[in-house]
Chains A and B, each alone.
Chain A
Amino acid sequence: DQQVKQNSPSLSVQEGRISILNCDYTNSMFDYFLWYKKYPAEGPTFLISISSIKDKNEDGRFTVFLNKSAKHLSLHIVPSQPGDSAVYFCAASGGSGGGADGLTFGKGTHLIIQP
């Protein structure tokens, strides 16, 4: 059973517009959420995170929103740039109960920014 779900395998957005990537989770024990960006044949790069005590976190062009009651988070990128084209992974921690708190990842959304 997938605990972190990214239901859109791909998303196409015009350059300069807003990109919105969505993520849902089922485990109510998750209390820390992250977004990673990944290019082919490379490791994921951390983008932004949010703790469950907040509902919004902003860093430059990237904003993450968390709706705990809906168990939903989203990543907004504005304005979208060609270099943003990549696979974006949503991840969560806190559900395992272990001290190391390995991350649980979604399957990713391939964002394509069109000129």
Chain B
Amino acid sequence: SQTIHQWPATLVQPVGSPLSLECTVEGTSNPNLYWYRQAAGRGLQLLFYSVGIGQISSEVPQNLSASRPQDRQFILSSKKLLLSDSGFYLCAWSLLRHTEAFFGQGTRLTVV
């Protein structure tokens, strides 16, 4: 069966520090991968998606970047964090259009 791992679960980082969140999927090949963010009191916002290795699409302009160095690995990064980057970050995968996306457990990022 397929599983998705996301770490760390919680992270407190100072303003201006770098960020690296990692997500890996097991049990499937060539998944679509996604990074979402849930800010306080808001819904889930799609940040990036990837249909294959090295292919990244950004949905919103932001202080973050994403990379997909391997088929089942998706990384969310920032060179210098801002206070507004605080939130709950979720990685997800899906196989096909018109199928559900499966989410990781999320990372609570607090920028101080």
Binding site for B on A (CB under 8 A): 4, 6, 31-32, 34, 36, 41-46, 49, 51, 89, 91, 93-94, 96, 98-108
Contacts and interface: CB of A to CB of B under 8 A. Distances in A.
A6 B44 CA distance: 13
Nearest to B51: A100
Given A105-B45, A106-B43, A42 B59 contact: no
A89 B103 CA distance: 13
Interface residues of B, number: 29
Nearest to B108: A41
Contacts, number: 69
Interface of B: 6, 32, 34, 36, 41-46, 49-51, 57, 59, 88, 90, 92, 94, 97-98, 100-106, 108
Contact of A44 (B45, B50, B90, B97): B90
